[in-house]
Structure 1
Amino acid sequence: MMRMRGVTLVELVIAIVIIAVALAGLVAAFTRATRASVDPLLTQQMIAIGESMLEEAMLKPYTNNKAQEASRADYTDIWDYNGYPADSPVTDVAGNAIPGLERYRVTVRVSQVALTDVPQAQAARISVTVRSGNESLVLHGWRTEP
């Protein structure tokens, strides 16, 4: 009796279909992973921008001189940052745009809050919101009157 070796056309087609489905699944997984890998980079950049702005505001004195300064370079206390131009592009203190950060927007709010054992008139919360497209990040810091 003679034995036949090899594959039939039907077996070959089924094998090709199985391999194609497996490859399609792998490509979809790689595509999803590649898109998701950009998110941590954006988040890290938003954190760095927010921390920088929050630290800048926190280093100013608590006292309120009641006058809103026109330029960020002239800000003299934390209250000057309240309402920092809503959704303004990221700039340095002199107001110059920072190359590479055009897609990010920053907003700062300063409000009085009551803390444990600290009256509302002597405590402030500084909220920095950083936005990029549909993503947003909010950082908070608290200051009290010395």
Structure 2
Amino acid sequence: MSNRFTRRAGVTLIELIVALVIVGVALAGMVAVYTATTRSSVDPVIVQQMQAIADNMMEEILMKPFAPPEGSTVTAASGRVNYDQVSNYDGYGQGLTGIRDVEGNVIPGLERYTVLVSVKQAALGNIPSKDALRVIVTVTAPGADPNLPQPIVLTGWRTNPS
């Protein structure tokens, strides 16, 4: 007679159910964190689009001369196509909806963004305020969703070269 106990390999049904419950709870927690994170994160495409709009507007403004050409009488209300100096852009964007090209046409896909421009005289180091213009371009994202990014604000300077 042999009294050998044979050891059986495997798991019981109860152990299997407990393991599945533990793994299920862990996965549910991970998915909840992932969902909350992605829901509250800002869409990087919107941020990149806002940055591109601000960069392009700032570049357009700073490419203009500090002072108007001789005999020029352009007002800010006459449209960007006629702007011939940096200060013409002061107040641009107020009352406008959508991003517009130089001719004033709304650019498709950018109808819900807004851009505001401020151009003011300001001293810059040793340069007096009459010879320096501070340009501020502000771009806001479409909608009022609190998960959208804050407005992008770029500041540039244009000085009188003479």
- With structure 2 as the length reference, what TM-score do the two structures score? 0.76
- Asked if 2 retains the 8 angstrom alpha-carbon contact of 1:69 and 1:75, the reply is no
Which of these residues, 26, 37, 47, is aligned with residue 43 of structure 1? 47
Q: Shift of residue 94 of structure 1?
A: 0.9
3-state SS, counterpart of residue 101 of structure 1? coil
- For 1:8 and 1:103, locate their aligned partners in 2 and report how far apart those are by CA, in whole Å: 61
Structure (1/2) with the larger helix percentage: 1
- With structure 1 as the length reference, what TM-score do the two structures score? 0.83
3-state SS, counterpart of residue 134 of structure 2? strand
Deviations along 1:44-78, one digit per CA (max 9) or x if unpaired, are 21111101000111111112557334211111211
Residues 1:123 and 2:127 are matched in the alignment: no
Aligned residues: 145
Q: Give the letter for the 2:156 counterpart.
A: G
- For 1:128 and 1:88, locate their aligned partners in 2 and report how far apart those are by CA, in whole Å: 15
Structure 1 segment 67-146 matched on structure 2, within 5 A: 67-86=75-94, 88-132=97-141, 133=143, 134-135=148-149, 136-146=151-161
CA RMSD of aligned residues (A): 2.4
Range with greater deviation from structure 2 (59-68 or 103-112): 59-68
Pair member with larger Rg = 2
Structure (1/2) with the larger strand percentage: 1
